[in-house]
Structure 1
């Protein structure tokens, strides 16, 4: 029996006690990410949860995009009417050039169409380029509610506030419209099928004062190296506040106890749980899951992807160097499930569901 089942009930597992299957940006191994088609496919493949990353339009509408820069995930570059809006901005200290959601009204954004973000890894997804709109949070919720009404199956949503300090600085705070939308849709309380996540800390603490919905502290790879002279291993609000702590500090037992004061779960980069060896094989699990559970926190890891470049060497198949060849993601998932995690973000929730079912059968 894994450690999550031996102590108090943790927020962050399925109702049957099994780890959550979380469709990362939908089923983004099959459709361009953050489209209604990707979310619907994730549900069809057995996801318990779908994840919309949220950014804002200039008129304050929350929409699902991985980043506020949309040059790589939409057809905006092909639209001459928007050519003049290409610009360079500092986003969390990094210069980014392209087109940004906050420079478009919601109506303008709806004239764009989504494109595959990583076509070298997912050439099949590129056939869907320019077919799907950018969905709003309201549309994602409507998709889930419609499925629940048809099937009776509860599907959770896992919105992430992207770059909350940045959006706050330009007068487009994400927290207020997010909470207003969720509460209006009937989501209330710790048992609601919602998890609100963020890589920053201050906005989660702000959210704790606004809602009783479950909150999740994301933890980026502490080994990230600086880029353009700016840190990448630090929550951006820590940097702004001149707080000397890094993501590494949040992974300690003390750091996890501090997180438990305002959040219900943690979402660590997967290699915090099982580090890779120097030759890119899976190593020995860390104490993170045990420490997080001791603090009363659920653990949801990210992100497990099926293509060879994202897998440890021992799970790659076919041409191990191929960018698009899929490997044995089920074996990788099983290793993390045995380490006691409570949920997994994956671009292929169907294979993730298979792994959870296999894990459950072995456990029983």
Structure 2
């Protein structure tokens, strides 16, 4: 049976000497394994630093995040790039770079610069920016765009320094679209994981995607743990698969939080159905500076999700999620 990311991440925290939240004896956690839910840094501490920048990932670790989440796109030369969007104008300084002025094109009804049109070396010359206008831009224009290799090197260096294990949850974006361009991300992903001894069932890794066929292919090629992301109505994912079908190839589901909870905070039954099939539930996204799905504050929302029994919460502000979890554990 595959080891859970919760156990691996919390074991890593223990090795680092960081305080752990209590299990069911102290807090009554309703998670799949009874352990405290994970705080997953969504693109790093992206509420306070430009998403997917090294400072965002560094801050997330300082704030106590259990898991780091990088999104992965593909460069023109087949390198995995740590970006959420396939276009570059909002998250980088490319619009201010005269050497790239003539390389914007229209795709999907949008005129922009696209990750797939640039080599990894070109992309690494770009500097990151905050993507949300109501968040601070004080850290814009400083940190370079990362390759997945850069990110994994950072994680390795941090692990060596703390003597601990840092869990990661990369999301492969648009695999079908990239494959159609001749840039299948699966071999690049497997090569990166294999090079670092992470292509195994008990590695502190969960690979996510909204693309069920991609995850099915990955399941055939590797023992690494998988999470099927889901944003629609309860009962089926975007590909029309039931939870029972998802459980045949995935270890976890990543539903939008509104799939799990009604506005009054009560359960829709999705989480309980997933747990009954042995699937962990990692939900997204909790943000301190956005209206909560339930309750008056983000703390109310977090307490509701933790109380429901989610196994992990994606958040742009890890410090808040860590604090609320500790309060619920009586620490």
* TM-score bucket of the superposed structures, by smaller chain: 0.7 to 0.9
Partner of 1:137: 148
CA distance in 2, matches of 1:26, 1:96: 27
Partner of 1:228: none
Matching of residues 1-364 of structure 1 within 5 Å: 11-15=4-8, 16=10, 17-90=35-108, 95-120=109-134, 122=135, 124=136, 126-222=137-233, 235=238, 238=239, 245=240, 250=241, 255-276=242-263, 282-307=264-289, 309-312=290-293, 314-315=295-296, 328-361=297-330
Task: Report the CA distance between 1:9 and its aligned residue.
Answer: 9.0
CA distance in 1, matches of 2:200, 2:38: 19
- 1:89-123 deviation per Cα after TM superposition (whole angstroms, max 9, x unaligned): 13xxxx33211011111111122111110022x1x
SS in 1 for 2:6: coil
CA distance in 2, matches of 1:110, 1:40: 19
8 A contact 1:69–1:101 mirrored in 2? yes
CA distance in 1, matches of 2:7, 2:326: 13
Partner of 1:321: none
- 1:226-262 deviation per Cα after TM superposition (whole angstroms, max 9, x unaligned): xxxxxxx973xx4xxxxxx3xxxx4xxxx11110100
8 A contact 2:91–2:130 mirrored in 1? yes
8 A contact 1:198–1:217 mirrored in 2? yes
- 1:71-99 deviation per Cα after TM superposition (whole angstroms, max 9, x unaligned): 11111111122121111113xxxx33211
8 A contact 1:11–1:297 mirrored in 2? no
SS in 1 for 2:330: helix
8 A contact 2:294–2:300 mirrored in 1? no
| TM, length-normalised to structure 2 | 0.88
- Residues 9, 336 of structure 1: alpha-carbon distance in 2 compared, 3 angstrom cutoff: farther
CA distance in 2, matches of 1:9, 1:155: 18
Q: Which runs of 5+ in 1 are unaligned?
A: 1-7, 224-232, 239-244, 277-281, 316-327
Task: Report the CA distance between 1:313 and its aligned residue.
Answer: 6.9
SS in 2 for 1:285: coil
Structure 1 stretch displaced more, 180-189 or 257-266: 180-189
CA distance in 1, matches of 2:3, 2:278: 6
SS in 2 for 1:209: helix
| TM, length-normalised to structure 1 | 0.80
Q: Which runs of 4+ in 1 moved over 4 A?
A: none
